[in-house]
Amino acid sequence: MKEWFITNFPNVVQQGWYGETGWWTSIVQTLYMTFWSAIFGGIAGLIFGVALVLFDNDGIIPNKVIFNIVDKIVSLFRAVPFIILLAFIAPVTQKIVGTQIGTTAALVPLSVGVFPFYARQVQVALQSVNKGTIESAESLGSTNWDIISGVYLNEAFPELIRVSTVTLISLVGLTAMAGAIGAGGLGNMAISYGYNRFANDTTLVATILVVILVLVIQVVGDVWAKLVDHGSRD
């Protein structure tokens, strides 16, 4: 088996497991970019998503001016293709992390790129909460924070897990795109060391690893959402 792999995947073997261009290094870089950009972009997306629901005409704090500002910001960043966004905010990235290249530098455009997508997902999830439950909480004298945390986020939690799963999968794709222009990770491995050097075996293995990562995220997200959903019903 080992001999067969060495014969059929010579470039994969040549890359090695560790080192600057090793497979383990690429996997860690992809996980690093996915995790931290999910944290930063997720927090921003959650804040903007909640704001879109709260300040809407049907929200608990209707405010047309604030809603329009938040909505336009989300729509603006949502409309910019990620590959263009990478170049557009490069000066901002330089100011924040001191460089435009590398996995840490990629966190800035990745976070900015994923937050509007997640904000829209959160908006849809929260809007699915039963209006009657919200009205009941208001009639009992609940504060806005009580309604946000105890009704909106609590009732929509299973759906928030599902949309977070979708967002994470989308983010893995963005990390691959960022990697292709120098941010490292499996995207860089597939393009720079695979496609550009006609090393099809390297491209194939990098693709398989990305698919495995996506499947793991999907399975974990689905199982968690079902567990939470059943628990809330019980």
In the predicted model, what is the mean pLDDT of the chain?
A: 87
Using CA atoms, how far apart are residues 123 and 130, in angstroms rounded to an integer?
14
- What pLDDT is attached to residue 232? 57
| CATH classification at residue 215 | 1.10.3720.10
- Amino acid, single-letter form, for residue 204: L
What token pair was written down for 3?
């001999």
Whole-angstrom distance, CA of residue 67 vs CA of residue 89: 25
Q: Which residue has the higher pLDDT, 211 or 178?
A: 211
Q: What is the mean pLDDT of residues 44-71?
A: 93
- Cβ pair 183, 102 in contact under 8 A: yes
Indicate the range of 74-78, 145-149, 158-162, 193-197 predicted with least confidence. 193-197
User: Which of the 8 DSSP states describes residue 62?
Assistant: -
pLDDT at 214: 94
Contact of 170 with 117, CB cutoff 8 Å: yes
The contacts of residue 4 (CB under 8 Å, 6+ apart) are: none
* CA–CA distance, 153 with 147 (Å, rounded to integer): 8
Task: Give me the number of domains the chain comprises.
Answer: 1
pLDDT digits (tens, 9 = 90+) for 86-126: 888 888 888 888 887 888 888 999 999 999 999 999 999 99
Rounded CA separation 159/222 (Å) = 10
Contacts by 121-124, CB closer than 8 A, 24 or more apart: 121/45, 121/49, 121/163, 121/164, 121/166, 121/167, 122/45, 122/46, 122/48, 122/49, 122/50, 122/52, 122/53, 122/160, 122/163, 123/49, 123/52, 123/53, 124/163
Q: CA 79 → CA 47, 75, 82, 117, 124, distances in Å?
A: 19, 6, 9, 10, 18
Give the model's pLDDT for residue 230: 61
| 3-class DSSP assignment, residue 148 | helix
Q: At what angle do helices 64-79 and 23-54 cross, to 10 degrees?
A: 150
The answer, yes or no, to whether residue 233 has pLDDT greater than 80, is no
Provide the domain limits for residue 127.
2-233
pLDDT digits (tens, 9 = 90+) for 46-57: 999 999 999 998
For residue 72, pLDDT over 70 is answered with: yes
126 vs 144, which has greater pLDDT?
126
Q: Tokens for 13?
A: 């073997």
